[in-house]
Amino acid sequence: MKKLKVYIPGISFPSLSLTGNYCTLNCAHCGKHYLESMKKVEKSNLVEYCKNLEKEGYKGCLLSGGMDSRLKVPLDMYANEIKKIKKETKLKLNAHVGFIDESDLEWLKYVDVVSLDFVGEDDVIKRVYKIKKRVEDYLGIIELLTSNGIKVAPHITVGLDFGKIWWEYKAIELLAHYPVDVLVLDVLIPTRGTEMENTIPPSVDKSLEVVKYARDTFNGELSIGCMRPLGKWRLEFDRGAILIGVDRITNPPRKIIEWAKKIRDIEIIYECCVM
């Protein structure tokens, strides 16, 4: 098998929320919960904050936040700051953007990669995100970015439909037709305080079936993202994903890293897995 890239982003690749804890949505799986753990940075302080990150040895950062009424993470409001960061530092920037359009292309060329949550079924979009968007809207973003030479890393959350697995296969098939370098697979974590807090997460075996299908269908690199259940579930899943032949995996348990060294060459990278 090819070398396995183990990504550990938390040490030198922080996640920044540029909207604080604000998000206009209240998604069934998130409920704004994941914004709480991100570092909050004000617009007036963003450039200086990133310069200090570089001085302290950080590799880069994720620019993220909640969605506004346009269903965008309003990074376009930070266009000048993003340009300045790229011109005055060597930091790598991963941008979580939402539903961008052609007006965003001018500043998007300054980020290294765009992370895009991708859903391949209209009904799941409606019930989980509660927005009037369709699969074709997500594909339009993929088309816009790839046709303009901007790297995009689609993220599929296995089990996003309240723990059920079914639409993920169609999503993988759709993405396989685009020039995407890396596809990220996350797995639903039922999160306290959300509509899905009592949802049973998808089983390890069923989740690994999706990983295997993606490995067989998608030509680019396949990554296991940072969102997936912890404990015994993660131990079993990570072991199975590595045996299937994923190219990248984020935050695996230490014992999995030591085990993987016996069967594959390992490279540890302190960045987001889309880098």
**Summary mean pLDDT of the chain:** 95
- Output the CA–CA distances (angstroms, integers) from residue 113 to 89, 203, 208, 240, in the order listed: 16, 31, 26, 28
Sole residue written with tokens 């005055």: 88
Going along 75-143, which residue ranges are E strands? 92-96, 113-117
| Coil, helix or strand at residue 12 | coil
> Which pLDDT value is given to residue 198?
92
Say what the pTM is.
Answer: 0.96
Q: Mean pLDDT, to the nearest integer, of 113-129? A: 96
Give the tens place of pLDDT for each residue, 87-117.
999 999 999 999 999 999 999 999 999 999 9
Q: Could you give the C-alpha distances from 183 to 26, 91, 159, in angstroms and in order?
A: 25, 22, 16
Evaluate if residue 26 carries a pLDDT over 80.
Answer: no
How confident is the model over 42-67, as a mean pLDDT?
95
Residue 31: band (very low, low, confident or very high) from pLDDT cuts 50, 70, 90: low
Total Cβ atoms within 10 A of residue 225: 23
96 in Cβ contact with 63 (< 8 Å)? yes
Instruction: Note the pLDDT tens digit of each residue in 3-16.
Output: 999 999 989 999 99
CB 101 within 8 A of CB 139: no
